[in-house]
Structure formats: structure tokens, C-alpha cells
């Protein structure tokens, strides 16, 4: 290598070079040397994530140490090597490392997987790491391993599972091991994790006490009087925000950001500042201006997008939805994005919160039945694991292994509002006379259930009051003087309205959705740097039409990895827009991005390649058969071509809204598919159907063989053509009927 690049490199070119050297060193069989490069020159997790947020790069390097195998395969290889006293280093090179470094490797890999939202795999890694630490009685590192595992259980919503399978028990074990070694740093972290688990379970006094203990141990270690910082600080101020201590939460969060700035530098790389910004943006709206809250939320989301940091992406979607609902704007796109991430990754608590926000959105639209469906999933039924799609289990708030205390009164409140809206719709009036015999039986029962739910919510809010109010932040009952969590004020208002004969303030008629309700299409623009002036104009125009565009000039910060950023942008995109010019057809970057997208098509990830020709050039052979947007003579015409594609795919497959009584059951395949945007129907068909499956549907609809027209075309192209042709011939209904007969599973998310 010549001279060392120095400690903790941040330059993407240097990191690319070092990563390449690690790969070649592993291939040559020099595993310890490869580990030395990763640990001492690249800087391991501490540099890649704490400073750079490069989760994908770290996970990629770990996979190289595992010989390209997934973590589960590595565990079986290691167990086999121990049983038979043989080193299977060809398949899994990391086995050539000493035992202690193997344990470090497994822990590092699990940390990257956690950041990427692969929670189930991360949990298995951490469990395996703990086995390796406990055998030699390495209590100190076992304590830190339990803290990491606790973080996974917290994110997945498994708050109170059996020993080692829930956040509370895992945090308690971490604390026990830290006390055994008299490790002050371990005690601080363990106390903070137990506080976070107690906070989510609703044990507010216990959480407050644990955060205080964590602060004492932190200050003993650091020798200063700083407040809790890093993740400990984020979790602490999140509790203060839930208790309504907005001034203290703001002050301590700003202090946390300042400490992180000193710790990580001014590059904006640390993983905690975005979380601090989300705490601030989610404070009650009286505490901070709406524009500032939206700016903070956007900043956190932008940080997460360029790093594929799944938890922050999901959290920012939740906060964005709340902000939009507060300002009477549609939150559909944010909620849809958040739910997709939560379900893909298994973020149990975010999933519950997002479902409750979607229920609120349904009430704003005058649709109480669909709201009740979402509330039922959030509070009581959850979603079981789906082995076919790989979706992990998502626990309900009332599940004994979850017990998410903050969602239960919130859910009871929204459920009561949905019941009252339904009652008002039956009566045909948002008001009624309490106790009137003229009230229809169905409405009377709904009103009775709603009142019961509101009273239950009040009792729950009382348990979540601030035990040490410092800002007059608890709600005081005007009749009894009893104190409740500040959010009980809204529940009390609905109860008071009900006593006064007001059932609802929501619209009685179902409100139609608008184009802004649709999740915007995500477009990755592949181009030559020589065409930047044209691309800037193109991007601005698309964004004006509610198209979400990934453009390297605006998505990559100084110090970000170009490779990681582009891979993230491509993997999240619905479309690859290839700007074809004399410059770009010779560009290696454009060729690589095009190859990536075509491979995604082949692997059924449903990226659609859209060529855009801006001058007279040689179109690559792989794109010659594709329809393209022509900008060579008329910019407005080219834009119109693209927008027609996006507009077509944002149409629903059926076009008819669901009725208030519609439910989601196994017999609702036609209504479920009809309600989907064509883009979503295309994605599901591409990801779940084989070419043979699609050929059957094609023949049933068009009475001709698919290969007559689409031979040698990719699966996604065939799906697009099928839907486009059926739409033009008014045969989408027949497509849906055929899909439900052949593949009813497409109706499930």
C-alpha cells in the first residue's frame, strides 16, 4: 500500500481502496492481515458507523470475512468446526481468527445488521456472540453484548419475553454482569437500556430512576457533569417528551447534539444527531415552530436515506405523518413508507404507532370502519410472521410479550372516536341527545362502547403521568384534581363533548383521496457528470410534480461513500431514469448503474428502466427495444412522456373506493387488488410470480401466448406490458379476477 492512509479514514476513495485490499487479502488466505486492515486502518464499526454512517459498507466487509455466506450459515460452519476440530476457513475465513476476535467479528456484524433493520438476523448474531463471551467468563463484554441484544428487542417490540428473549430481562442480565465486574461504563449503559424498556412498558417511576442511575455512572466515568448523551440521551429525552416536559427535553437534546458534535466532529456523521432532531420535531406543537419541526424531520430523513439507516427512516416517516396530520395535510405517503419499512424490518413499536396514525387519517376521511381495522391490528391481533415473504412477526400492543403502554390508551382513544363517528353516521347527525330513546340501537351500543374505551384510556393515562412534574406538565382533572399524563386532556375533551351531546368533529361523509395521498414514485437518475445542467433542470421539474428523485448532487454529502450512496439509491428506487446522450453512453458509471438495474429486474425487485434521450446518440443494445422519453427536440414533451408513465402507475387498478362496511378478509381479494395503485400491483406481481405464472394470466386475459409478443423480454417488462395493454382495453377487471383465482396471496401486503 505504501504509506498508511491514517487512522479513521473518511475519504470514500481511501475506504474503497482499503475494502478492496481486504477482499484480496482474504482471497489470498491471509485472514489475520485482512482483519488488521479492517480493525486498525478502516477503523471498524466505530469509524464506519459512529463517524460515517456506512452501515452497508461494514456489512459488506463482514460478509467477505464469512466467505459471502449469510450469518446463519456461518454459525453452523463454526459449530461444525468445533465439533470436528477442523477449520472450514475456505467457506468462512473468519474462523482462522483467534476466538476473541471471532467474537468481536460476530458482534460487529450484528451491529451493522441492526442499523440496516435486519433485526431477526442481528438478534441471532448477538445471541451467538453472547455464547462465545459467556464460555470463557468474559463478563464485561457479555454485559455489552446483552445491551446490544436489548436494543434489538426494543426495536422489535419484544419488551417482556422469557429470559434473554425480551428487552427487560436482557437489560437486567446486562446490569448483573456489569455489577459483577464493577464496570461503571457497563452499569451506565445497562441502566439506560433497562430505563428504555421500562419506559415503553409504562413503568415511568422505574424508568426515571434508571435514567438517574445511568447519569450518575456516566458522570463517574467521564469525570464531568454533562447530561446523558448519545443513545442514552436520546432515550432519556424521548421519555421527557412523552411526559410533556418540553423545555427540559429541548434543553437536554440540544446539549446532546453539542456533545455529539465534539465527539464526532462537524461532518454530520454521528448516528445520534438525527435521532435528536426527531425527538425535537416530535415535541407537542406548542413547543417549537412547525417549519422548524419539519426542517428537523427532513434533515434526519435525508441523513438516513443516504445511509440506508432503517430505524431513523421509519421513525422519520412516523414523525412526518404526525406533522402532516397536525396541519390538516394528507399523511398517506409517509405512513405507507413507514409501514413498509416497519414490516420489512420487524420494527414492532413503530408499526403500532404508524397503524394508529393511519387510523387517525381514516377518521379525517370519514372512514371509521377501516380505522377500526387498523386499531384492531395495532392493539390486539398484530401480524404473524410470513415465511413466504420473509416478513417477521409484528406483535400487538396488548400482546403479553409486548405491553407497549403508550399505544394502549392512544389506541383506546382513537377506537372510541371511530365508534362515535360510526354512531353519528348511522344517526346522520354529529350530535345526539344523551339517553334519548330515539337513538338507534346500533348507535346506542357504539356510544356505550366508546364511553367505556375513553374511561379506560383515562385510567391508563393516569398511570403514565409524570411522577416529578417540573413544568406543570401533567393534566389535572378539573373535578377531582387528580393528575394524568398531558395527553389525557384530549381524551377528557372527547368525554366532555359526549356528555354535551357531541358525538364527533370528523366528517360524516367519506372523503375522496387526492393525488397527494399517493406515495410519490421514487426515481434514480443515472447520468454523465457532463450533462449536469440538463439533469438539474429535469430533477427540478420532476420534483415540482411530486416525484421523489435521487440525484447524487443533492443526496451525497462530503465524505459519503459514492458506491454506498448509489447502491442505496438504486435499491430504494422504483425507476431508473437513464439519461442517454453522447456523453453518458461512454460513461462507466452509467453502464454500471444500468447493469445494476437490469440485474434487479432479473432478480424480481421490480426496478423499471426508463430511457430519456436528450440528443442524437447510440442507444445501448439492451435499451433499444424500450419505449423512451424524447427530450432531443422538446423538453416539455419529454417531461410529459415521463409524467404519463408515473400518472398511469398511480391510478388504482379498479378505481372504485371501498365502502364503510368493507373488511379485510380472505374473500376480499378483488377489492384489495382493485384498491392498489398499478405501481404496487406491478411490484407484487414481479416479486411473487414466476414467468410461468404470468404466462397463464396473459393467456387467460388475451387468449394468446405471452412469448408471441414478449419473448426474451424481462419479467418486469412483461408485467408492465400486461397491465398497460389490459388497462387500454378495459380488461384490468379480468386481470384481477384471474390473479385472484391463480394467486390470491397477491392481496396480502
Task: Give residue 716's pLDDT.
Answer: 77
Q: Where are the domains of the chain?
A: 348-499, 518-648, 669-747
Task: Give residue 588's pLDDT.
Answer: 61
Number of residues in the chain: 749
Is 635 within 8 Å of 667 (Cβ atoms)? Answer: no
pTM over 0.75: no
Q: For the packed helices 71-83 and 99-115, what is the interaxial angle rounded to 10 degrees? A: 160
- With 0-12 / 13-18 / 19 or more C-beta atoms within 10 angstroms meaning exposed / middle / buried, residue 237 is buried
How far apart are alpha carbons 192 and 216 in whole angstroms? 11
Task: Give residue 328's pLDDT.
Answer: 63
- Could you write out the DSSP letters of every residue in 148-210? HHHHHHHHHT--S-STTSSHHHHHHHHHHHHHHTT-HHHHHHHHHHHHHHHHHHT-HHHHHHH
The class (CATH top level) of 518-648 is alpha beta
How far apart are alpha carbons 569 and 739 in whole angstroms? 31
The count of other CB atoms within 10 Å of the CB of residue 571 is: 14
Is 38 within 8 Å of 44 (Cβ atoms)? Answer: yes
How far apart are alpha carbons 170 and 190 in whole angstroms? 9
Q: Would strands 483-484 and 475-476 be described as parallel, antiparallel, or unpaired?
A: antiparallel
Task: Give residue 556's pLDDT.
Answer: 38
Task: Give residue 535's pLDDT.
Answer: 82
Task: Give residue 577's pLDDT.
Answer: 84
Q: What is the mean pLDDT of each run of 10 residues along the chain (749 residues)?
A: 54 90 93 95 88 86 90 60 46 87 93 91 92 91 95 95 87 95 94 97 97 97 95 97 95 94 69 93 78 89 85 94 81 88 94 96 91 94 83 94 97 97 92 80 90 97 95 94 96 95 87 53 79 81 75 46 47 78 67 54 58 79 66 78 70 43 50 76 83 88 84 79 81 87 82
Q: Which residues pair with 580 in a beta bridge?
A: 613
How far apart are alpha carbons 599 and 563 in whole angstroms? 17
Q: Where on the phi/psi map is residue 575: left (φ > 0), alpha (ψ -120 to 50), or beta?
A: beta
Task: Give residue 5's pLDDT.
Answer: 41
Task: Give residue 207's pLDDT.
Answer: 97
Instruction: Strands of 293-411 (E only): list them.
Output: none
Amino acid at each position: 500500500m505504501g504509506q498508511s492512509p491514517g487512522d479513521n479514514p473518511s475519504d470514500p476513495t481511501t475506504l474503497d481502496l482499503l475494502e478492496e485490499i481486504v477482499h484480496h487479502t482474504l482471497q489470498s488466505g491471509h485472514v489475520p492481515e485482512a482483519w488488521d486492515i479492517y480493525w486498525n486502518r478502516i477503523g471498524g464499526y466505530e469509524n464506519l458507523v459512529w463517524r460515517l454512517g456506512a452501515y452497508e459498507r461494514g456489512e459488506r466487509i463482514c460478509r467477505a470475512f464469512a466467505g459471502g455466506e449469510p450469518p446463519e450459515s456461518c454459525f453452523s460452519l463454526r459449530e461444525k468446526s468445533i465439533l470436528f476440530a477442523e477449520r472450514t476457513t475456505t467457506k468462512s475465513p473468519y474462523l482462522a481468527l483467534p476466538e476473541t476476535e471471532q467474537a468481536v467479528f460476530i458482534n460487529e456484524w450484528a451491529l451493522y445488521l441492526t442499523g440496516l433493520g435486519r433485526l431477526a438476523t442481528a438478534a441471532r448474531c448477538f445471541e451467538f456472540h453472547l455464547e462465545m463471551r459467556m464460555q470463557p467468563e468474559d463478563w464485561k463484554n457479555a454485559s455489552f453484548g446483552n445491551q446490544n441484544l436489548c436494543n434489538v428487542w426494543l426495536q422489535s417490540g419484544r419488551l417482556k419475553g422469557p429470559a434473554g428473549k425480551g428487552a427487560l430481562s436482557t437489560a437486567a442480565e446486562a446490569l448483573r454482569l456489569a455489577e459483577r465486574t464493577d464496570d461503571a461504563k457497563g452499569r451506565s449503559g445497562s441502566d439506560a437500556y433497562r430505563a428504555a424498556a421500562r419506559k415503553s412498558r409504562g413503568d415511568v417511576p422505574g424508568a426515571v430512576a434508571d435514567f438517574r442511575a445511568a447519569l450518575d455512572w456516566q458522570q463517574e466515568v467521564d469525570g464531568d457533569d454533562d447530561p446523558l448523551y448519545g443513545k442514552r440521551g436520546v432515550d432519556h429525552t424521548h421519555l421527557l417528551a412523552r411526559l410533556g416536559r418540553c423545555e427540559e427535553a429541548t434543553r437536554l437534546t440540544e446539549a446532546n447534539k453539542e456533545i455529539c458534535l465534539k465527539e464526532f466532529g462537524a461532518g454530520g456523521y454521528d448516528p445520534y444527531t438525527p435521532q435528536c432532531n426527531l425527538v425535537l420535531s416530535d415535541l407537542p406543537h406548542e413547543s417549537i415552530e412547525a417549519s422548524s419541526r419539519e426542517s428537523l424531520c427532513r434533515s434526519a430523513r435525508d441523513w438516513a436515506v443516504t445511509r440506508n439507516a432503517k430505524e431513523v427512516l421509519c421513525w422519520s416517516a412516523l414523525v412526518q405523518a404526525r406533522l402532516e396530520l397536525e396541519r390538516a395535510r394528507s399523511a398517506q405517503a409517509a405512513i405507507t413508507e413507514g409501514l413498509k419499512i416497519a414490516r420489512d424490518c420487524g420494527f414492532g413499536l413503530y408499526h403500532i404507532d404508524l397503524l394508529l396514525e393511519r387510523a387517525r387519517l381514516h377518521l379525517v376521511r370519514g372512514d371509521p370502519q377501516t380505522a377500526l381495522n387498523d386499531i384492531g391490528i395495532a392493539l390486539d391481533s398484530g401480524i404473524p410472521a410470513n415465511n413466504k415473504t420473509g416478513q417477521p412477526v409484528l406483535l400487538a400492543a396488548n400482546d403479553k410479550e409486548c405491553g407497549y403502554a403508550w399505544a394502549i390508551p392512544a389506541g383506546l382513544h382513537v377506537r372510541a372516536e371511530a365508534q362515535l363517528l360510526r354512531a353519528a353516521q348511522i344517526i346522520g347527525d354529529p350530535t345526539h341527545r344523551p339517553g334519548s330513546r330515539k337513538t338507534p340501537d346500533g348507535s346506542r351500543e357504539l356510544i356505550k362502547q366508546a364511553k367505556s374505551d375513553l374511561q379506560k384510556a383515562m385510567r391508563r393515562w393516569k398511570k403514565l403521568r409524570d411522577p416529578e412534574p417540573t413544568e406543570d406538565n401533567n393534566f389535572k382533572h378539573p373535578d377531582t384534581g387528580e393528575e394524568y399524563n398531558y395527553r389525557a386532556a384530549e381524551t377528557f375533551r372527547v368525554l366532555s363533548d359526549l356528555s354535551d351531546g357531541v358525538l364527533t368533529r370528523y366528517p360524516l361523509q367519506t372523503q375522496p383521496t387526492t393525488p397527494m395521498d399517493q406515495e410519490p414514485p421514487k426515481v434514480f437518475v443515472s447520468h454523465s457528470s457532463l450533462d449536469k445542467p440538463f439533469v438539474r433542470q429535469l430533477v427540478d421539474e420532476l420534483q415540482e410534480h411530486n416525484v421523489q428523485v435521487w440525484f447524487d448532487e443533492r443526496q451525497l454529502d462530503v465524505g459519503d461513500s459514492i458506491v454506498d450512496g448509489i447502491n442505496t439509491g438504486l435499491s430504494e428506487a422504483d425507476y431508473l431514469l437513464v439519461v442517454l446522450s453522447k456523453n453518458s453512453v461512454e460513461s462507466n458509471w452509467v453502464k454500471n448503474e444500468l447493469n445494476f438495474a437490469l440485474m434487479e429486474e432479473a432478480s424480481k425487485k421490480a426496478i423499471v428502466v426508463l430511457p430519456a434521450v436528450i440528443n442524437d446518440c447510440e442507444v445501448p443494445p439492451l435499451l433499444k427495444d424500450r419505449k423512451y422519453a424524447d427530450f432531443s427536440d422538446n423538453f416539455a414533451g419529454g417531461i410529459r412522456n415521463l409524467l404519463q408513465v408515473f400518472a398511469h402507475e398511480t391510478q388504482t387498478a379498479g378505481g372504485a373506493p371501498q365502502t364503510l362496511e368493507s373488511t379485510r378478509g380472505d374473500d376480499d381479494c378483488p377489492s384489495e387488488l382493485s384498491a392498489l395503485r398499478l405501481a404496487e400491483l406491478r411490484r407484487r406481481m414481479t416479486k411473487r410470480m414466476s414467468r410461468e405464472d404470468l404466462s397463464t394470466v396473459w393467456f387467460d386475459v388475451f387468449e394468446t401466448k405471452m412469448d408471441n409478443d414478449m419473448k426474451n423480454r424481462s419479467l418486469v417488462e412483461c408485467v408492465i406490458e400486461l397491465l398497460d395493454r389490459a388497462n387500454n382495453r378495459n380488461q384490468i377487471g379480468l386481470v384481477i379476477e384471474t390473479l385472484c383465482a391463480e394467486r390470491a396471496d397477491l392481496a396480502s401486503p
